[in-house]
Amino acid sequence: MARNECVIFITLEFCYTMKRYLLLLLLFTTLSGYAQNTINNYKYILVPEQYSFFKEVNQYGLNTLTKKLLEEKGFTVYFDNKDLPTEIANNKCRVMTADFTEKKGMFTTTLTLILKDCQGNVVFKGKEGKSREKEFSAAYNDALKNAFVSLNELPYTFTGEAEKVESVKAPEVVVAPVNQQTVTAESIEPLGTLYAQVTATGFQLIDTTPKKVLTLFKTSVKDCFIADNSQYKGIVLKKDGKWFFEYYNNDKMISEELLIKF
For 134-166, b/e burial (b = at least 16 CB within 10 A) is eeeeebbbbbbebbbebbeeeeeebeebbbebe
* Euclidean distance between CA atoms 104 and 106, whole angstroms: 7
Residues 28, 129: one domain? no
CATH number of the domain within which 105 lies: 3.40.50
186 belongs to a structural domain: yes
Q: Which of residues 135, 157, 179 is at a domain's end? A: 157
Query: By C-alpha distance, which of 88, 220, 246 is closest to 258?
Result: 246
Residues 119, 204: one domain? no
* Euclidean distance between CA atoms 161 and 83, whole angstroms: 24
- Range(s) of the domain holding residue 255: 5-34+168-261
150 CB contacts (<8 Å, ≥6 apart)? Answer: 113, 126, 127
* Euclidean distance between CA atoms 243 and 86, whole angstroms: 30
163 belongs to a structural domain: no
Residues 180, 254: one domain? yes
Q: Which of residues 157, 192, 215 is at a domain's end? A: 157
DSSP conformational letter for 234 = E
Residues 55, 151: one domain? yes
Instruction: List the chain pLDDT tens, one digit each, 262 residues.
Output: 443 343 333 333 444 455 555 555 544 444 443 345 789 999 999 999 999 999 999 999 999 999 999 999 999 999 987 778 888 888 888 899 999 999 988 899 999 999 999 888 999 999 999 999 999 999 999 999 999 999 999 899 998 765 544 434 444 444 445 454 556 667 787 778 888 888 888 888 888 887 888 999 999 898 999 999 988 999 999 999 999 999 998 888 999 999 998 8
Residues 66, 141: one domain? yes
Residues 57, 25: one domain? no
* CA-only gyration radius of the chain, Å: 23
Q: Which of residues 123, 157, 191 is at a domain's end? A: 157
Residues 109, 208: one domain? no
Residues 60, 143: one domain? yes
162 belongs to a structural domain: no
The domain total for the chain is 2
Asked if 212 and 206 count as a contact pair (C-beta separation under 8 A), the reply is: yes
Asked if 112 and 100 count as a contact pair (C-beta separation under 8 A), the reply is: yes
